Amino acid sequence: MIRRRTAKDISARKGGEPIVSLTAYITPMAARLDEYCDFILVGDSVGMVLYGMDSTLGVTLDMMITHGRAVMRGAKRALVVIDMPFGSYEESKEVAFHNAARLLSETGAGAVKLEGGKEMAETVKFLVDRGIPVLGHVGLMPQSVNTYGGYGAHGRTEEEWQPIIDDAKAIAEAGAFATVLEGVAEPLAQAVTEAVSNPIIGIGASNKCDGQILVTEDMLGLFSFNPKFVKRYAEIAVDINEAVANYAKDVRSREFPAEEHTYKMKK
C-alpha cells in the first residue's frame, strides 16, 4: 500500500528539493495529478474556475466539502489540502475550528488552508494545537480583493516588504506546516523564504521559494486567466474547440455516429 503524504512530510522539506503542488476540484483531475504532486489543493478558486464567479467570496463550506470529497476519491498518494472559504474562519478561532473540523471529518482530507497574516496567527495555532494541520497563505490574498481593490502583485516597493515578512513569520511560528506566498516580487519572495522556518510555496512569487503551486486549469489553458506568472503547459481550450467543432460538423453531415458506434440487432 502507498503511504499518503502528510503535512509533516511537507514541512520537513524546507530548503530541500522543491515541493510540487497544483489545484484540483474533481476526481479525474485529482487522479491525474496524484502521481506527480506532493500535495493537491482544493482551492476556493473553484468558484471562479468551475462556477464562473468573479471572485472567490461566494464560495461556501458546502462547496468545499463536495469538491474535497471528489478530490479524495481521485488522490491516493498526495496530501489533500482544502481551502477554508471566505467567512468560515475569520470571526473567531472557535468558528474556524468548527468549520476546519468539518472539512477534515467530512472529506478525509489531511489539512486546511486559510488566508491571513499576523491577525490569523492565533487561529492557526488554535487549529494546529487541536489536530488540524494548516497551510498558511500570505502576500496577495484573493479573499481580500475588496480591501486591496484588485489582484496586483505585492512587495514591489520596499515599504511593502516588512508587513509581508512579519505575516509569514507569524504564521510559521503559529505552526503552519507550510505557507503559500502569492503575487510578490522576487527579492521579497527570497527574503520571506529565508526569514521563516516552514516551506514557502510560491504562486507568482519567483523560483526562490521552497515549492510552487498553480491553478491547474490556468497551466492547462482551460481558463481565460493568463497573468504573467502562469506558464501554459497545454492549450486544452483550443483542443476542446476543435473537438466540438468536428463533432458538430459530423452530426450535421451524418458522419457521426458511424457503423462502429451503432448497435445492431442480435443474430
- Residue 180 binding target from Na ion, ligand KIV, none, CB below 5 to 8 Å by type: ligand KIV
CA neighbor of 36 nearest in space, from 83, 81, 82, 77? 77
Cell output for 77: 498518494
Nearer to ligand KIV, 3 or 228 (CB): 228
Considering only residues 217 to 236 of the shown chain, the ones binding Na ion according to CB under 5 A are none
Counting residues that bind Na ion (by CB under 5 A) gives 3
Phi, psi for 40 (deg, rounded to 5): -115, 130
Compute the least distance from the CB of residue 219 to ligand KIV, in Å.
11
Q: Give the separation between CA 94 and CA 86, rounded to whole angstroms.
A: 15
Closest residue to ligand KIV, based on beta-carbon distance: 43
Three-class DSSP category at 85? coil
Three-state secondary structure call for residue 239: helix
Interface residue list for ligand KIV (CB under 6 A): 23, 41, 43-45, 83, 180, 203, 213, 215
Query: Catalytic annotation on 182?
Result: yes
Assign 136 to helix, strand or coil.
strand
CB 114 within 8 A of CB 123: yes
113 known member of a binding site: yes
What is the per-residue binding string for Na ion in 72-111, x denoting contact by CB under 5 A?
-----------x----------------------------
Contacting residue, 38, 44, 210, 218, with Na ion by CB under 5 A? 44
| Residue 231: CB minimum distance to ligand KIV, A | 14
Nearest 5°: the CA angle 77, 41, 37 is: 40
Q: Residues 17, 94, 159, 182: which is the catalytic one?
A: 182
Are residues 205 and 221 in contact, defined by beta-carbon separation less than 8 angstroms? Answer: no
* Least CB distance to ligand KIV at residue 218 (A): 9
Cα separation, 75 vs 109, in Å, equals 10
Selection from Na ion, ligand KIV, none that 215 binds (CB < 5 to 8 A by kind) is ligand KIV
Point out the annotated binding site for Mg(2+).
44, 83, 115
Catalytic residues: 182
